[in-house]
């Protein structure tokens, strides 16, 4: 039988409703060009980049099987992000120019915490 | 014609202006005017600008969304449509040899670089009309046509025949590659075409390609050969390279014979039909090397048929694997710290990665009846002062995580983990194979691997493994060498000049092949067989920069190249029938046909014979 409604609420009751939020922030590409965006709450940063025609590869389609959507955050924003899973950390180990405030764009959802931030797409290394 | 109240949406990126049009007017560049069939707002990715004026008096086709709108009605104006057919300017013709990740990424980034350059040229020219910007050097081409040539009927290279079947998410990149046909061909200034079943060097000479196309990019990878151990006994029966083993379990049409060898090693002379699905082979397997390929093969051997039943592993492979192997050893010549992956690792060194290691630690928990064993003593042996230093600093972070992961799984000599599970995977360090011995009972078949215990010497990041003289012989019924793929020159590559036989790569500088030619290189054949799928992204961008420099410098010094037309005529004259993209789609449909699958979860049942692929693709070959 399926899970009871009550037990579903227990695990999901704490989840925020993202739908109403629209958050503004800026991507910076490796050349330094800025791309301000208006993003829908709950969307992943990789999808937001694609929606705005910003060049950010997501080779594995967001399934934690690559590190091509590597993004670098400002420290104060990084500290507010949800904790990294082991799987994400394993993939980040493979990323170029890894920093102490790096995360994978496919794992970070838009929330009000990101309002006004600047997120950097790191250089490829050539 | 009067159109009242319609909104003309003029996109001049990045801002969007709107104004209402009351009548037909010629629309001037750089305004971008598009015509859309439906009222639904569709976002078109185009950034192309219009040439001069656009008299809207005839049926127009939007080049981005391909909708046609009759001249009698303007509905929504979204994207740009223009017939910029300046016939005096031909299109850049490019041949890419190899349809793996490097070929696709190079095509993707070269297309966008050329389109961007065309846009800049048009943009500046328009601004010049308004007296703004200084003239930009004209761009000699009005578009780009890329032909991807592939030896096999199927594209995707190692994504299809290298990535382990239990890593389906890694194969997602195929969607991105397939989408490029759509994106490219939806743009009037670019096109992408697939020519499968065409081997450069055999079906078409490299020199012929070079004369037919403006640019030829070599992206054919390093699947032709293996790095050899160069120790006695390497050619005994039962010694294979991991490359061959991987190609076999991934259903590569040229490696079916490996199945017979594996069957003999695992089951001897038993009839495979008499072997139970869950029966575990008592064969001992020794894998030499600790890179991700080595860990993949160990994991596949540990999982066996039951563990792989819902993957795209071909059914005939599962019939040979059955319950898997009872004992797999994975040998590393150096310590675990040296073997651990770092992004700046040397290409020929083995590289332990956290992801695959973690998977091995979870094998038992996930019900595969296989336990990972690491000897604590061997971890300690490798932790000299230099190794401790190597764990520090920025490059030390991934190594430290691997050190922790290994320590958590390590056992001491007194533990008896073999009691916990019928199958064991043993990660061994500081052991270097010196020879492969034959079986006592059969002098032509492998019986064991003789190894020397090594010791680390040297400063941090400069440590070498030296022999201690202590010998350990590991019994082996199957040996898989996993110390690197190796590239080979294409037939027709000029002697030693264009191919570096030491490094087994094409001689190149940032992707430009040395010499006075129009040859470029991308991927493993350019930089060596290292890195993951994503590594090809920056590699391709590097090559694309070199290509753009080359075409800007040389301009169009020759007459327009024959390109695709030329190739098609050439192949016809040589009676070679290529497999085009739609033919490949027929193969995809056949492989994913539910009637063909062993269960609902299996993604596809690969076709294992080239002749069968050709017949499904509708190709009749000589």
Nearest to A61 among B172, B353, B541 (CB): B172
Tell me the pLDDT tens digit for each residue of B448-478.
Answer: 999 999 999 998 888 888 999 999 999 999 9
pLDDT value of residue A120? 96
Check residue B48 and give its pLDDT. Answer: 30
**How distant, in Å, are the alpha carbons of B104, B147, B199, B580 from that of B203?**
21, 15, 5, 15
Q: Do A66 and B533 touch (CB under 8 A)?
A: yes
Q: What does each C-alpha distance from B257 to B36, B95, B249, B267 come to in angstroms?
A: 55, 33, 11, 16
Distance CA B342, CA B609 (A): 39
Reported ipTM: the value is 0.78
Residue B83 lies in a domain: no
Q: How far apart are CA B301 and CA B326, in angstroms?
A: 9
pLDDT at residue B599 tops 90: yes
Does residue B206 share a domain with residue B191?
yes
B304 and B380 housed in the same domain: yes
Q: Chain A: residue nearest B401 by CA?
A: A90
Number of domains in chain B: 4
Is it the case that residue B134 has pLDDT exceeding 80?
no
Mark yes or no for CB contact A65/B537 under 8 Å.
no
Q: Which of B420, B448, B483 is the last residue of a domain?
A: B483
| Residue B321 covered by a domain | yes
Chain B residues whose beta carbon lies within 8 Å of the beta carbon of residue A125 = 538
Judge if B254 and B214 occupy the same domain.
no
Q: B86 in a domain, yes or no?
A: no
Q: What is the largest CA-CA distance in chain B?
A: 95
Distance CA B46, CA B32 (A): 10
The region of weakest confidence among B238-242, B431-435, B531-535 is B531-535
Mind spelling out the 3-state secondary structure of B268-288? CCCCHHHCCCCCCEEEEEEEE
The confidence score (pLDDT) of residue B420 equals: 76
Q: d(Cα B258, Cα B236) in Å, to the nearest integer?
A: 14
> Which residue's entry shows tokens 């697939």?
B194
Contact between chains at B170 and A65 (C-beta distance less than 8 A): yes
Contact A93 B533 (CB under 8 A): no
Mean pLDDT of the residues in chain B:
83
pLDDT per residue as tens digits for the range B158-214? 999 999 999 999 999 999 999 998 888 888 899 999 999 999 999 999 999 999 999
User: Are B249 and B276 found together in one domain?
Assistant: yes
Q: Does B179 touch chain A (CB under 8 A)?
A: no
- Residue B315 forms part of a structural domain: yes
Quick one: closest CA in A to B351, which residue? A94
CA–CA distance, B501 with B128 (Å, rounded to integer): 52
d(CA A69, nearest CA chain B) in Å: 10
B532 and B504: one domain?
A: yes
Determine the 3-state secondary structure of B556 from DSSP: coil
Residues B130, B215, single domain; the answer is yes
pLDDT, residue B529, reads 92
* Residues present in chain B in total: 622
Interchain CB distance below 8 Å, A94 and B343: yes
pTM more than 0.90 = no
Per-residue pLDDT tens over the stretch B355-379: 899 999 999 999 999 999 999 999 9
- Domain final position from B15, B50, B76: B76
Domain co-membership, B592 together with B568: no
Select from A58, A65, A69 the residue whose CB has the most chain B CBs within 10 Å, as the one to mutate to test that interface.
A65
Which tens digit of pLDDT belongs to each residue from B90-123? 889 999 999 999 999 999 999 999 999 998 887 7
CATH number at residue B345: 3.50.50.60
Whether residues A89 and B45 touch (CB distance < 8 A) is answered with no
Residue B431 above 50 pLDDT?
yes
Contact residues, chain B, for A67 at CB < 8 Å: 534
Q: Do B583 and B570 belong together in one domain?
A: no
CATH code for the domain in which residue B184 is found? 3.40.50.720
Same domain flag for B381 and B246: yes
With vertex at residue B164, the alpha carbon angle to CA B163 and CA B170, rounded to the nearest 5 degrees, is: 55
How many residues belong to chain A?
126
For chain A, say whether B360 makes contact (Cβ under 8 Å). no
Instruction: Look at residues B450, B483, B516 and tell me which one is the last residue of a structural domain.
Output: B483
- Tally A–B CB contacts below 8 A: 70
Structure tokens at B428: 């061994």
Residue A1 is given by DSSP the state -
Contacts of A29 in chain B (CB under 8 A): none
Pair (B419, B544) in one structural domain:
no
Residues in Cβ contact with B230 at an 8 Å cutoff, skipping those fewer than 6 apart: none
What distance in Å separates the CA atoms of residue B87 and residue B90, rounded to the nearest whole number? 7
In this predicted model, what pLDDT tens digit does every residue of B434-444 receive, in sequence order?
999 999 998 99
Whether B355 contacts chain A with CB within 8 A:
yes
Question: What residue ranges of chain A have pLDDT lower than 70?
Answer: 1-20, 124-126
Residues from chain A contacting residue B531 (CB–CB below 8 Å): none
- The structure tokens listed for B514 are 């040395």
Is B81 a member of any domain? Answer: no
Of B5-14, B278-287, B579-588, give the lowest mean pLDDT range.
Answer: B5-14
What pLDDT score was predicted for residue B491? 87
Cross-strand partners of B418: none
Same domain flag for B58 and B182: no
The verdict on residue B138 lying in a domain is: yes
| CB-CB contact of A126 with A31 (8 Å) | no
**Same structural domain, B280 and B197:** no
Reply yes or no on whether the pLDDT at B16 is more than 70.
Answer: no
- Residue B82 covered by a domain: no
Domains of chain A in start order, with CATH, are 22-125 (3.10.20.30)
Say if strands B410-411 and B370-375 run parallel, antiparallel, or are unpaired: parallel
B173 vs A60, A93, A126: nearest CB: A60
Report whether pLDDT(B10) > 50.
no
How far is B499 from B514, CA to CA, in rounded Å?
Answer: 9
> What distances in angstroms separate CA B313 from CA A75, B286, B308, B445, B603, one per listed residue?
44, 22, 7, 28, 9
| Domain of residue B107, residue span | 92-224+487-576
């Amino acid at each position: 039988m399926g899970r009871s409604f009550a037990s579903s609420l227990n695990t999901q009751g704490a989840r925020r409703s993202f739908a109403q939020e629209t958050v503004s922030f800026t991507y910076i590409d490796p050349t330094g060009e800025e791309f301000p965006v208006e993003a829908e709450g709950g969307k992943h940063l990789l999808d937001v980049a694609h929606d705005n025609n910003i060049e950010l590869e997501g080779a594995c389609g967001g399934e934690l099987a690559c590190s091509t959507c590597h993004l670098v955050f400002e420290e104060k924003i990084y500290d507010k992000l949800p904790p990294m899973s082991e799987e994400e950390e394993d993939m980040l180990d493979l990323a170029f120019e890894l920093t102490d405030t790096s995360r994978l764009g496919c794992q970070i959802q838009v929330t009000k915490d990101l309002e006004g931030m600047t997120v950097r797409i790191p250089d490829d290394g050539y | 014609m009067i159109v009242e109240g319609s909104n003309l949406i003029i996109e001049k990126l990045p801002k969007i202006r709107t104004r209402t049009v009351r009548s037909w007017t010629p629309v001037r560049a750089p305004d971008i005017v598009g015509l859309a069939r439906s009222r639904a707002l569709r976002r078109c990715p185009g950034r192309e600008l219009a040439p001069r004026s656009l008299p809207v008096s005839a049926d127009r086709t939007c080049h981005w969304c391909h909708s046609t709108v009759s001249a009698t009605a303007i509905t929504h104006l979204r994207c740009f449509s223009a017939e910029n057919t300046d016939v005096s300017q031909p299109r850049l013709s490019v041949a890419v040899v190899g349809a793996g990740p490097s070929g696709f990424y190079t095509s993707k980034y070269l297309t966008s670089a050329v389109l961007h350059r065309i846009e800049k040229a048009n943009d500046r020219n328009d601004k010049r009309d308004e007296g703004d910007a200084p003239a930009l050097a004209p761009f000699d081409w009005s578009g780009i046509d890329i032909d991807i040539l592939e030896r096999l009927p199927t594209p995707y290279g190692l994504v299809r025949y290298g990535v382990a079947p239990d890593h389906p998410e890694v194969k997602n990149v195929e969607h991105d590659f397939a989408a490029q046909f759509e994106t490219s061909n939806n743009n009037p200034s670019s096109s992408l075409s697939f020519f499968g079943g065409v081997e450069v060097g055999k079906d078409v000479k490299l020199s012929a390609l070079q004369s037919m196309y403006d640019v030829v990019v070599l992206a054919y990878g390093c699947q032709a050969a293996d790095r050899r151990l160069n120790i006695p006994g390497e050619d005994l029966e039962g010694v294979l390279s991991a490359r061959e083993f991987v190609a076999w379990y991934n259903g590569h049409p040229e490696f079916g014979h490996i199945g017979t060898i594996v069957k003999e090693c695992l089951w001897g002379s038993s009839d495979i039909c008499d072997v139970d699905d869950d029966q575990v082979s008592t064969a001992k397997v020794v894998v030499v090397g600790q890179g991700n390929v080595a860990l993949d093969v160990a994991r596949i051997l540990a999982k066996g048929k039951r563990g792989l039943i819902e993957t795209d592993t071909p059914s005939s492979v599962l019939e040979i694997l059955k319950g898997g192997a009872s004992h797999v050893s994975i040998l590393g010549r150096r310590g675990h710290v040296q073997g651990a992956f770092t992004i700046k690792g040397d290409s020929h060194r083995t590289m332990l990665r956290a992801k695959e290691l973690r998977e091995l630690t979870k094998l038992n928990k996930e019900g595969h009846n296989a336990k990972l064993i690491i000897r604590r003593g061997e971890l300690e042996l490798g932790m000299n002062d230099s190794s401790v230093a190597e764990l520090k600093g920025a490059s030390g972070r991934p190594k430290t995580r691997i050190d922790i992961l290994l320590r958590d799984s390590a056992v001491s000599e007194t533990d008896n983990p073999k009691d916990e599970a019928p199958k064991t995977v043993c990660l061994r360090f500081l052991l270097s194979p010196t020879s492969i011995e034959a079986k006592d009972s059969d002098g032509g078949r492998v019986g064991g691997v003789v190894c020397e215990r090594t010791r680390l010497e040297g400063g941090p990041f400069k440590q070498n493994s030296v022999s201690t003289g202590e010998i350990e012989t590991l019994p082996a019924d199957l040996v898989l060498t996993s110390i690197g793929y190796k590239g080979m020159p294409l037939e027709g590559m000029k002697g030693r000049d264009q191919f570096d036989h030491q490094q087994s790569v094409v001689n190149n500088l940032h992707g430009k092949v040395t010499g006075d030619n129009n040859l470029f290189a991308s991927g493993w054949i350019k930089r060596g067989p290292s890195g993951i799928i994503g590594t090809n992204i920056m590699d391709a961008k590097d090559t694309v920069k070199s290509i753009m420099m080359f075409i800007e410098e040389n301009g169009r010094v020759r007459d327009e190249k024959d390109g695709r037309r030329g190739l098609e005529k050439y192949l016809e004259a040589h009676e070679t029938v290529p497999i085009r993209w739609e033919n490949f789609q027929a193969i995809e449909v056949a492989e994913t046909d539910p009637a063909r699958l062993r269960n609902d979860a299996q993604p596809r049942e690969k076709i294992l014979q080239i002749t069968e692929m050709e017949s499904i693709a509708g190709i009749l070959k000589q």
